Amino acid sequence: MTERIGPATGYRRIATEEAFIPPELHRMYRDLIASGGIDDPGFVSLMGYYLGSTSERARNVSERLQDLGARRLADMDAAGIDMQILSLTSPGVQVFKTDVAVAMARLANDQLAEAVRRRPDKFAGLIAVAPQDPTEAAKEIARGVTLGLKGVIINSHTQGEYLDDRKFWPIFEAAEASGLPVYLHPNTPPPKMIAPFLESGLDGAIYGFAVETGLHALRLVTQGVFDQFPKLTLILGHLGEALPFWLSRLDYMHRGTVNSKRYDFMKPLKKKVSDYLRENVYYTTSGMAWEPAISFTQSVIGMDRVMYAMDYPYQYVPEEVSAQDALPISDADKKNFFQTTAEKVFRL
């Protein structure tokens, strides 16, 4: 174990993309893989590893995911983390049939709300929903508000379907009406996309996650989600899945594509693509504790739109906390980065 990280001076450290799973859902994942009853190579690759591998990494992640008590709190203390924003790990309930998914989202939210009630000083949480039934998902968002949860977690695609499809827009309507942010978290690429990633071992967090989730976020922008829901707040982890690097090219190519009428379904937007990515989206550093990338994102997106995250337990590296304490920014910006932006976005 590395040296313990002490408390920060002048700010609290709030980690904004930290995963958990109810033990019941953990068992259901295992049973689903064992039964062979799922046609999702990405799920089998990802969860088959964490549930079936005997490696130290897989065992530690699997155990830590299920812990909302002493072990998690000890890990937070050792890393100097004051609070975690907890969300249901990918792929959440989105891999199940509709009735099971709806029931398991409720169970996950009840367990999370109970953990928050036990330690409101340490935990806040995001509402899991089953996009398979958008009407029920909207109802669960409303129920989650009564439980005291602070946002909505969507683990990217749902069995190959994306939220730019208007049938899913009741979810956005409910989130906007409740003033809750939607955290768009990665999933492994869907079956139609995953083959070249799997054959090269790049399907997970190493690269496939970013490609798949960046695509999803762009679909939301270009299909007009933020024109329809202008007050909707989206959160992207991993410094925006590389989208901040592409702002100029996205604007140029989107404008050219719309003007050429290449695709009948790609219509003009009220703003530039980069405007939505700067005005409707917040970004976290989960898994990306690298100063040049953080500083670049802050410079092109805005200092007040980038928040700290660890990506626990998948990337539990306490020394990364010290590295981000040392970012070359002012004390006021550092407090925004670690604390006050998260307090504003999640209404803590």
Q: What are the boundaries of each domain within the chain? A: 19-346
Asked if 171 and 222 touch (Cβ cutoff 8 Å), the reply is: no
| β 152-154/127-128 pair status | parallel
Question: How far apart, in whole angstroms, are the C-alpha atoms of residue 173 and residue 231?
Answer: 10
- The whole-angstrom separation of Cα 179 and Cα 347 is 9
Mean pLDDT, residues 169-188:
98
pLDDT at 1: 45
Give 262-282 pLDDT, tens digit per residue.
Answer: 999 999 999 999 999 999 999
List pLDDT tens digits, range 139-153.
999 999 999 999 999
Exposure b/e, 139-153, CB count within 10 A at least 16 = b: bbbebbbebebbbbb
Nearest CA to 122 out of 62, 155, 79 is that of 79
Q: Is residue 2's pLDDT more than 70?
A: no
The DSSP output letter for 338 is I
Cβ atoms < 10 Å from Cβ of 314: 20
The DSSP H or E segment spanning 16 is strand 14-20
- Quick one: what percent of the chain has pLDDT higher than 90? 98
CB 276 within 8 Å of CB 229: no
Report the mean per-residue pLDDT for the chain: 97
161 three-class SS: strand
Give tens-digit pLDDT for 209-229.
999 999 999 999 999 999 999
Question: Distance between CA atoms of 144 and 122, rounded to whole angstroms?
Answer: 19
Residues with catalytic function: 311
Q: Which residue has the higher pLDDT, 3 or 235?
A: 235
Q: Return the pLDDT at 4.
A: 86
Name the token pair of 333: 């910006």
Start-to-end Cα distance in the chain:
31
Q: What is the pLDDT of residues 95-104, one digit of tens each?
A: 999 999 999 9
CATH of domain 19-346: 3.20.20.140
**So what's the pLDDT on residue 37?**
83
Token look-up 């890990």 returns 75
18-76, pLDDT tens digit by residue?
999 999 999 999 999 999 889 999 999 999 999 999 999 999 999 999 999 999 999 99
Confidence of residue 86 (pLDDT cuts 50, 70, 90): very high
Judge whether residue 333 has pLDDT over 80: yes
